[in-house]
Amino acid sequence: MKQFNILMSLALISLNCAPKKFFNSGPTLLQSISVFHRPESVAFSLDGKYLFVGNCASDLFGADKSKVGFVKGAGVISRCKVNEKGNVKVEKLRFISGLNGPTGLKILRKATDKYPVGTLLVNQGISLQVDKDGNSVTDINRLGVGIDLYDPKDGKLLGRIPMGPGSAIANSIGHVPLILNSMAFDKSGNLYITDTAKGGDRLDPQLRQYPGMIRIKHSSIDNPNERDISFIPIPGVPNGIGYWEKENAIMIVTMGGTEIPGGNAIYKIPISSFPLDSIPEPLFDNVGTADGIAFTPAGTIITSRFSGDLLSIPYNGKPSPIIMESFSAPADHRLLTLEDGNSILAVPEQNRKDPNPWSQKLKIIHLPKNF
């Protein structure tokens, strides 16, 4: 009997420890939700109770299905509920509708005179828009270039930051942005937006493409003032952007690939360096064609790569792939730290090979403490 009790005690110790050790050993898939329409970007509410998903409604057009197009007016923002354990449930699939290629989402962290904390910002007006038949929208005045601001509770439109022809922003930087992509706020509330700048050849007349980053001072969000707006060229075709609080820096990943200088890079721009006229050398180069970037509380950088995986870079460490199941074109992801110290990473997938428009995935990844 004594030997039996010893064996039982050892078994219970093994059962109690093994799952905890396995769950905390690295990132694991928590959920896979397959109800979205080419989700490109996500944003958590500041209280962590909601997750917004941008369905950009892109597809492949043309006889050979090689032309990427974002259907005008078909973009949708979904609102999901997030519980204390990090589980996500779709609350309203079509929370905001009728959008023109919503490619980036962000939550306002510092109130302005016009917009309260928590306001949802949505990039719109991508140059790669098509009508429902796949014909390019060639008139830049019909694209609706700018950032719309919404009430996160009811989806009501609160206002707009126009960036089309004749706007203060276009006048200040000398051109109209072609693909407003990802957004970030620094701790002072200044807004940063990447312009991936493709599709100028689809417009009539054709427009030159200026890939880079737009910076709007917090004081100019309500009513953009040309003196408070700046543009910095970014080599390598900029994509995802984020504010790295641990280093007080803006971080940008590129998607140009190996044929373009800086096309597989991560750039670090310290906030203390603004205003600046040129970009510093990449913090990391040859790290793969990337879409999104996020940061864990421990300082680890996580990027999503077109190759179908996530890349992690520990603080003061070296890049290495996160070993887990593959992704289908993971896009602009975001991280939420839970009350227990663990985190979840929301990763939208841009699977254009799937012919069904409302079946693409959002994957929720669990990240252990100190990852």
Contact 361/351 with Cβ under 8 angstroms? yes
Stated as kind and residue range, the H or E segment containing 20 is: helix 2-23
Q: How far apart are CA 236 and CA 94, in angstroms?
A: 34
Report residue 315: phi and psi, to 5°.
Answer: -55, 125
- DSSP state letter for 201: G
pLDDT given for residue 21 in this prediction: 37
Q: How far apart are CA 193 and CA 182, in angstroms?
A: 6
Q: How far apart are CA 53 and CA 237, in angstroms?
A: 24
Q: What is the pTM of this model?
A: 0.92
Concatenate the DSSP letters of all residues of 136-162 into one string: B---GGGS--EEEEE-TTT--EEEEEE
pLDDT given for residue 244 in this prediction: 97
- Digit-by-digit pLDDT tens for the chain (371 residues) are 444 344 344 343 333 333 333 345 789 999 999 999 999 999 999 999 999 999 999 988 888 888 899 999 999 999 999 999 999 999 999 999 999 999 999 999 999 999 999 999 999 999 999 999 999 999 999 999 999 999 999 999 999 999 999 999 999 999 999 999 999 999 999 999 999 999 999 999 999 999 999 999 999 999 999 999 999 999 999 999 999 999 999 999 999 998 898 999 999 999 999 988 778 899 999 999 999 999 999 999 999 999 999 999 999 999 999 988 889 999 999 999 999 999 999 999 988 777 888 999 999 999 999 99
pLDDT given for residue 9 in this prediction: 41
Q: How many helices (H) and strands (E) does the chain have?
A: 2, 26
Contact 352/61 with Cβ under 8 angstroms? no
Report residue 346: phi and psi, to 5°.
Answer: -95, 120
Which structural domains are found in the chain, ordered by start? 28-367 (2.120.10.30)
pLDDT given for residue 334 in this prediction: 98
pLDDT given for residue 317 in this prediction: 94
